[in-house]
Structure 1
Amino acid sequence: MKISKDSQMVLITFLAIGFFTLSLSRGALALGASPASAADNSSLIVLSHEIPYGQGKVGDGGAWIGENSTVSGLLRVESRCSSKLEIDYQLQIPAPLVVRKVPPDIIVEKKADGLRLKANFLLITKSDQWFRMIEIHVPQGMASKNPSVPLVVQAVIHRLSDGQVWQRQKTFSLKVVNERKLQESFIVGELVIPADEQGRPQQKLKKNTILLTAESLLARWLKGEQEAIFTPAAYAAVDITNKLEDRVNLLARLDFLDPKTGQKVRGFDPPLPQGHEGLGQMTDGGVVYQMVSLSPRGQEKVILPIYAQDGLVLPGHYLVRLELKHFGTDSLIGQYSRSIEVSSPQWGPLIITLFSLIVAIGMVVIIYLKRRYFLQLKSRELISIALFGTIIFAVVNVPGTLLWRFAHIFLGPFSFFITGFFHEIIFYMLLTSLVVLIPKPGAITLVIIIKSMMSDLLFGGFSATSFLSMGVSALILEIAYYLSGLTRNRATVGRERATVGRAIGGGCLKLPYRTIWITALVCGLGDMAISYINFNIFMLLYRLYYASWYIAVYLLVSGFLYTAIAVPLGFTLSRRLSIIGG
């Protein structure tokens, strides 16, 4: 039978379409089967490890471990398949590494080239995980013989739904270094105690000192029990630099020891909530931990909280020890010890500040009750008092404040050696001359009020400390000049001043030298008392710390010496002013 060309073309077309359809169907079957053969091999499970534990991702060279150490490792397998899987797991550990500890469901087999860790387990559904912890010992001298150690993980995957089997294998390396090289790979800065929450040194507090946190007296009285304080008493901070090219995790541990016995002291560990105190018996008392992750050639500041509650930790001296270890191993990076002092809350500044508050309020009350006395002062005397107050502000407060800003840059806390010339010598010289000219109680108080108010208003320094200091200074100086006899024997001083006023041609003030030296002595002691009270006010309200020797030097030099020098100069100035004023 003869077939036309058109029919041949139609037949060929149908055959081509049929062949193409068959090819597509076979390709579809092949594509549909590929996940079960190739793709599932890489996507059914995830093999991961952390050796050392917590290391996470590392570079191509592998994680660092130190020789003569015990390394903790985490083995993990995670399912990415919704079907049930059975896994035959195997980890090849080459010699001379030694397995110290494995879970009971892992079988350890000895081979000529090392050890094999085998396990069989099920992964029920997607995201199901199997993980186990192991411990491996790295022997001494391995760094020179086997600096790079390969570990091979093999997994045979059985998909129970259709019986298909795949194999997975993954190799990772460990870099073994000797202990000295590992220790030299990190630079550890100075251990700073106390520090703030950001790790900055607490300049206002004494170095290497922890102030005990007092418990709430109100809570103790109302509840009849101690209140747990979760706020750290202080912080310890240290800078650590990583010189390696890989990320490394370290464990920072802070121990508190008895300096005599070297035993750990309890009470420095974080407090536990009520009802969970028994957990503290399960932990290592007096220890604070923190992990720090150091980036390649990076630096991190480690900040460790220090808990020390009043009643649990006794005041005294302790030894604090910072210990750095390679996280996940027992490799010691270094130990750094520091002697610290634990001090209890000081009640002295609180008592003195309360006393200053009572004095300041009392002076306000006295001035109000004695207002008729101040109103009876002569106009000439009030003008002189106001003039002296203004002069003291102009020649004491203004240059003293401005000079302090520059002197503090070069001399720091010892700037009082320079500023004391204004705040002590010139101030007491003018104040003494005023008292000699107007030997009446209350004149000192008015001068101090004028001077302080002008300073606070113009320099914006009005505060609780200025109010307390103003009241205390007025009371103590009134008492000092009264004890010296200047304001107590007003008639005698007035007659002597009048005699000088008439003796224009070189007369002198006929007060005995004994009165001058007594005035210098009592004013020096009075200024020491004022300075000491101001120190305590600052320590309480601003949480400042002053060393005892610094307070002693300040009181002797600025408080007593400069004042004792100024008082005789004030008598000389009063004599000249008396001569001029007639």
Structure 2
Amino acid sequence: MARPTCAILFLLLILLAASIIPSPVHAYTRSCSPPVDMVVELPLGQQHRDNSSLKLPLPGRYLFWLIVESKTGKPVEYQASVVVEGDARLERLSGPLQGVLSGYGDRSIVYGVVDAGPQGFRLVAVLEAGGCTRSVVLSVAESGIEARFSRVYLPVDHLGREDLRREPFTLVESYPSLLGRLLGGSNSHVLLGHMLACVESSQPFDFLVVGGLYDAEGRPAPVASTVLEPGTGASYLRTTVSVSNCTGSRCSGCVIVPLWLLEDMAPPGVYRLVLSLYIPGSDRPIAVYEHNVHIRLLSYGDIGVAAAVACLGVLVLPLLARIHDSRRLAYMALTGASLTALSRLIGGVVFRLSSVLGPFDWVAYGPITSGLYYGLLAACLAATGEPMIAAGAVLVEWLLSSLILGSGNLVLSAFWALTTLFVVAVAGYAARATDLRLLPVYFAAAKALDSYVDINIYAYAYRLYYADWYIVVYSAGMALYAFLGSAAVARMVSSRARG
């Protein structure tokens, strides 16, 4: 009996010793599940829940966040600490490092700033809660990352597509509506356009782009990438660009930035666009981009001339009202119906197909909407000898297209119809007073003025600013089509007259 008793006593002594000797406590013990979650964001936007190694441009100052969030519905007490080791110092640490989280989803955020040298550092965050201890260790080394702005362009559409008709680096604003002001409205938070910003770097990364528009004295223009409630917002541009498309040793990425007007108006003039590229949380830009940007006011100049010419078309309406002869009305209605079928039905199909040509789509639809259009007007004038019949056909075409078929913007189409009424009537009377053989020349001049007015009214209505060269080329091209179309009809009429 002595030996079993000794063996039992020996086993009990071993168990007692094991219970007395403390076991080592690890900084991160997965078997102990704390009732809170801890996340370290360095750089901002990159969340770390476990030990990680990362590379950042060094030296530099970096802002980081320590986020503690409750995962239980009960109140839980926590205590956190942050230590920086290596070639760096913890410059600032603010926020509740200890406290009580009241329930599920309740969180506490600690902000810190690390001033790092070129040799790298380690950031150690330790959290104690609910009897558990866990830590996150971030080892940061020099990255040698290279990045630059590969392309910046404005204006573009919301998909980043350029419009070659638009003047590069030009934003357009307009006076606030008088009626809107009387009703208490505001012109603020108007979308001036979009900007395309592309970044190229030596490795994938999510960069921060910060900048703005500044006048000659360094004051920011009231333009922002983000708008809040009326009366709030800051005059700066801020966005994140993800550089993730890699080919070989280079990675690239683009972002489209909206440009909002924060006030009723920005003083027209030349501004300096300044964009800086940052690692999120860093105070040192990796790259800087600068370019001049024009802000223009659409309330004078070309639009005034265009509106005046369009309004002159009203003077033609009383002359049209005097036409009562059934034969002349029949010519007017027949020609107007032909113009409608030509411009809206056939021209509409060609217009949609020609969209593949982009800003030069008029090269494809111009022969129909300008060449054949003015050719029909020339035929009407040759058959009747009365410019008012041709002008009346334009009115019939507008009535059929806008009021019956209901296509397009009614107000804009009315301005365009009045413009065409006026120029066709003037060209017809000029040809009849001089020589009908010069009708193609007069019609070409009429179409040039007509196109000039049309594009400026369209630009004003939709707050666009077309390049001068494009307006000249567009007007001249449409005038050439009108000349060729009316000249072909005039040649056919003269051939039949001789035959």
Give the Cα separation in 1 of the matches to 2:99 and 2:404. 81
Give the Cα separation in 2 of the matches to 1:449 and 1:294. 55
Pairing 1:64–2:55 present:
yes
Residue 176 (structure 1) aligns with: 141
Give the Cα separation in 2 of the matches to 1:428 and 1:92. 81
CA 1:249/1:59 → structure 2, altered by over 3 Å: closer, same or farther? farther
Pairing 1:194–2:155 present:
yes
Q: Is the 8 A contact 2:271 2:294 kept in 1?
A: yes
Give the Cα separation in 1 of the matches to 2:245 and 2:388. 71
Give the Cα separation in 1 of the matches to 2:87 and 2:315. 84
Pairing 1:538–2:458 present:
yes
- 1:129-140 equivalence runs, <5 A: 131-140=109-118
Residue 444 (structure 2) aligns with: 524
Residue 509 (structure 1) aligns with: none
Aligned match for 1:475, one of 409, 422, 437: 422
Residue 286 (structure 1) aligns with: 235
Pairing 1:314–2:267 present:
yes
Pairing 1:215–2:168 present:
no
Listed as ranges, the gaps of 5+ residues in structure 2 are 1-18, 20-28
Q: Secondary structure at the match of 2:48?
A: coil
- 1:358-437 equivalence runs, <5 A: 363=316, 366-368=319-321, 370-372=322-324, 374-375=325-326, 377=327, 409=356, 413-414=359-360, 431-432=377-378, 435-436=381-382
Pairing 1:73–2:68 present:
no
CA 1:578/1:459 → structure 2, altered by over 3 Å: closer, same or farther? farther
Q: After TM superposition, give the deviation of residue 169 of structure 1 in Å.
A: 4.8
Greater share of strand? 2
Q: After TM superposition, give the deviation of residue 329 of structure 1 in Å.
A: 2.1
Give the Cα separation in 1 of the matches to 2:421 and 2:180. 39
Q: Secondary structure at the match of 2:255?
A: strand
Residue 25 (structure 2) aligns with: none
Pairing 1:558–2:473 present:
no
TM-score by length of 2: 0.71
Residue 50 (structure 1) aligns with: 41
Residue 291 (structure 2) aligns with: 338
Number of residues of Structure 1 aligned to a counterpart in Structure 2: 464
Q: Is the 8 A contact 1:256 1:287 kept in 2?
A: yes
Pairing 1:238–2:197 present:
yes
Q: Is the 8 A contact 1:244 1:296 kept in 2?
A: no
Give the Cα separation in 2 of the matches to 1:201 and 1:417. 19
- Identical aligned pairs, as a percentage? 17
Residue 497 (structure 2) aligns with: 578
CA 1:443/1:335 → structure 2, altered by over 3 Å: closer, same or farther? same
Per-residue CA deviation, residues 368-392 of structure 1 (Å, 9 max, x unaligned), is: 4x143x23x5xxx777777777888
Aligned match for 2:223, one of 264, 268, 277: 268
Q: Is the 8 A contact 1:71 1:136 kept in 2?
A: yes
Residue 444 (structure 1) aligns with: 390
Give the Cα separation in 2 of the matches to 1:101 and 1:317. 40
Listed as ranges, the gaps of 5+ residues in structure 1 are 1-29, 31-37, 106-118, 160-165, 489-513
Of 131-140 and 386-395, deviating more is 386-395
Residue 282 (structure 2) aligns with: 329
CA 1:576/1:454 → structure 2, altered by over 3 Å: closer, same or farther? farther
Q: After TM superposition, give the deviation of residue 220 of structure 1 in Å.
A: 3.6
**Equivalent position amino acid for 1:252 in 2:** V
**Equivalent position amino acid for 1:233 in 2:** L
Residue 14 (structure 2) aligns with: none
Per-residue CA deviation, residues 493-548 of structure 1 (Å, 9 max, x unaligned), is: xxxxxxxxxxxxxxxxxxxxx73576555443323222222223433455565322
Q: After TM superposition, give the deviation of residue 256 of structure 1 in Å.
A: 1.4
Of 359-368 and 206-215, deviating more is 359-368
Q: Secondary structure at the match of 1:96?
A: strand
- 1:3-22 equivalence runs, <5 A: none
Q: Is the 8 A contact 1:238 1:301 kept in 2?
A: yes
Q: Is the 8 A contact 1:255 1:264 kept in 2?
A: no
Q: After TM superposition, give the deviation of residue 69 of structure 1 in Å.
A: 0.7
CA 1:405/1:54 → structure 2, altered by over 3 Å: closer, same or farther? closer
Give the Cα separation in 1 of the matches to 2:36 and 2:397. 82
Q: After TM superposition, give the deviation of residue 317 of structure 1 in Å.
A: 1.9
Give the Cα separation in 1 of the matches to 2:108 and 2:363. 73
TM-score by length of 1: 0.62
Give the Cα separation in 1 of the matches to 2:78 and 2:380. 101
**Equivalent position amino acid for 1:229 in 2:** S
Per-residue CA deviation, residues 31-89 of structure 1 (Å, 9 max, x unaligned), is: xxxxxxx99964265554333344313776434332111122234556778678584x5
Aligned match for 1:547, one of 461, 467, 472: 467
Greater share of helix? 1
- 1:34-49 equivalence runs, <5 A: 42-43=33-34, 46-49=37-40
CA 1:453/1:61 → structure 2, altered by over 3 Å: closer, same or farther? same
Q: Secondary structure at the match of 2:189?
A: coil
Per-residue CA deviation, residues 424-473 of structure 1 (Å, 9 max, x unaligned), is: 56665665465455333533235545777788899985763555544432
CA 1:60/1:132 → structure 2, altered by over 3 Å: closer, same or farther? closer
Q: After TM superposition, give the deviation of residue 139 of structure 1 in Å.
A: 0.9
Q: Secondary structure at the match of 2:155?
A: strand
Q: Is the 8 A contact 1:426 1:566 kept in 2?
A: yes
Per-residue CA deviation, residues 235-266 of structure 1 (Å, 9 max, x unaligned), is: 32435578757xx55322122133x56x3424
CA RMSD of aligned residues (A): 4.9
Give the Cα separation in 1 of the matches to 2:37 and 2:374. 84
Aligned match for 1:254, one of 179, 186, 211: 211
Give the Cα separation in 2 of the matches to 1:405 and 1:85. 67
Q: After TM superposition, give the deviation of residue 306 of structure 1 in Å.
A: 2.1
